[in-house]
Chains A and B, each alone.
Chain A
Amino acid sequence: EPEVTQTPSHQVTQMGQEVILRCVPISNHLYFYWYRQILGQKVEFLVSFYNNEISEKSEIFDDQFSVERPDGSNFTLKIRSTKLEDSAMYFCASNPTGDTEAFFGQGTRLTVV
């Protein structure tokens, strides 16, 4: 069964460093997303991406964040200068049409120290 894959599963980084979280969405899906879950809190939307551009972003997704689809398969989330409060589980998701269920990856746990 096709699945969304994310790497790495766990990333530890020093405050102020740049991190890139990687995702391979399901191949025939057209809509891509990043969500995050801070420990003990709900899953929060960060950004949606369609047709090679951002279609919507949340207030959380400020200038420190960027997304890219550098080739036909990868979808990346970059955080330029990490802060302690960026520590969270980051989930990538994809959706074939944008109006049915989204499929989530297993997540990347980001720890900023």
Chain B
Amino acid sequence: DQQVKQNSPSLSVQEGRISILNCDYTNSMFDYFLWYKKYPAEGPTFLISISSIKDKNEDGRFTVFLNKSAKHLSLHIVPSQPGDSAVYFCAAYDGSSNTGKLIFGQGTTLQVKP
């Protein structure tokens, strides 16, 4: 039961270009979405989030877009840097649960080439 899906297992972009990572969800009760970045042998690190009442949130080079009708969100990284190379996880909070449980996607491995 994959409630959060990241259909692209990997993405390769050139340094300086835009990276676009996509995420789809199925549960309409999800009301808060997050992106985490993970390096090998480390825990996930919070990157950026968006509430379901917004359609865009920006933080420096990172922007997250939310399309509620399509149940789709995307993370844009502009410009991409080699240090951005990592696994990116999309995650969602279930608004019907008050425990703060996160549902994760499978992750997308981003490689930024110098």
Contacts and interface: CB of A to CB of B under 8 A. Distances in A.
Bound together: yes
Interface of A: 4, 6, 31, 33, 35, 41-45, 48, 50, 55-56, 91, 93, 95, 97-107
Contacts, number: 66
Interface string B68-107: 0000000000000000000001010100011111111111
A105 B45 CA distance: 9
A101 B49 contact: yes
A113 B30 CA distance: 38
Interface residues of B, number: 24
Interface of A is mostly: strand
A56 B44 contact: no
B43 interface: yes
Given A42-B89, A42-B105, A55-B99, A99 B32 contact: yes
